[in-house]
């Protein structure tokens, strides 16, 4: 029996580019502190939905792209998103069956871990701009936006037959 062929890579890449645009979208100073981690959310979704196609290397590549895009220390987000992808792959079967509230808690933990990893790299090179507690605010906002993001990406996956 022939296995289902992989399809929809352009749609997956397009969602990452849209997330990148949302990442650099200008916001007021007060709102920028709570900017959701769009690239992390999209990466986590695709890792959970397609763990056989999107994994740690995608996380590393998207992280490098985010480093270049935001002018961060090269490798800061790459290592953080690779770690997030690794943990998401390890737990993807469990995360899929969690109820929505529990999924949001897991998203907070995953995005928060990535944010704290990035903070550690920034601290190591002396580029810390905010106290460590503020690093978790984007993780909280990302967790709150998980369900709408999940629904939109699931619609995209079904609409463009991504598998």
Query: Mind listing the pLDDT tens digit for each residue in 79-132?
Result: 999 999 999 999 999 999 999 999 999 999 999 999 999 999 888 888 877 787
DSSP string, 20-34: HHHHH----HHHHTT
How do residues 23-68 score in pLDDT, each as one tens digit? 999 999 888 889 999 999 999 999 999 999 999 999 999 999 999 9
Question: Which structure tokens are listed for 133?
Answer: 């507690």
Cβ pair 36, 141 in contact under 8 A = yes
| Averaged pLDDT, 131-146 | 92
Give the count of domains, the chain.
1
Asked if residue 4 belongs to a domain, the reply is no
User: How far apart are the C-alpha atoms of 68 and 75, rounded to whole Å?
Assistant: 9
Q: What is the pLDDT of residue 31?
A: 87
In sequence order, the 6+-apart residues with CB closer than 8 A to the CB of 22 are 36, 38
Residue 4 has what pLDDT? 61
Query: What's the pLDDT band for 1 if we cut at 50, 70, 90?
Result: very low
138 part of a folded domain:
yes
Domain assignment of residue 162, yes or no:
no
User: Domain span at residue 152?
Assistant: 9-157
Q: Is the CB of residue 38 less than 8 Å from the CB of residue 22?
A: yes
Please indicate, yes or no, if residue 163 is contained in any of the structural domains.
Answer: no
User: What is the model's pLDDT at position 2?
Assistant: 45
CB 41 within 8 A of CB 85: no
């Amino acid at each position: 029996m022939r296995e289902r062929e992989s399809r929809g890579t352009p749609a997956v890449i397009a969602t990452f580019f849209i997330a990148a645009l949302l990442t650099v979208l200008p916001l007021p100073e007060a709102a920028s502190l709570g900017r959701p981690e769009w690239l992390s959310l999209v990466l986590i979704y695709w890792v959970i939905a397609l763990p056989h196609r999107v994994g740690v290397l995608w996380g590393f590549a998207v992280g490098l792209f985010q480093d270049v895009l935001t002018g961060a220390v090269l490798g800061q987000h790459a290592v953080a998103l690779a770690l997030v992808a690794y943990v998401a792959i390890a737990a993807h079967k469990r995360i899929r069956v969690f109820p929505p509230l529990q999924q949001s808690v897991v998203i907070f933990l995953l995005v928060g871990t990535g944010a704290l990893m990035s903070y550690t790299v920034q601290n190591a090179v002396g580029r810390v701009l905010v106290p460590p507690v503020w690093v978790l605010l984007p993780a909280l906002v990302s967790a709150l936006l998980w369900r709408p993001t999940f629904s939109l990406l699931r619609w995209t996956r079904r609409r463009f037959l991504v598998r």
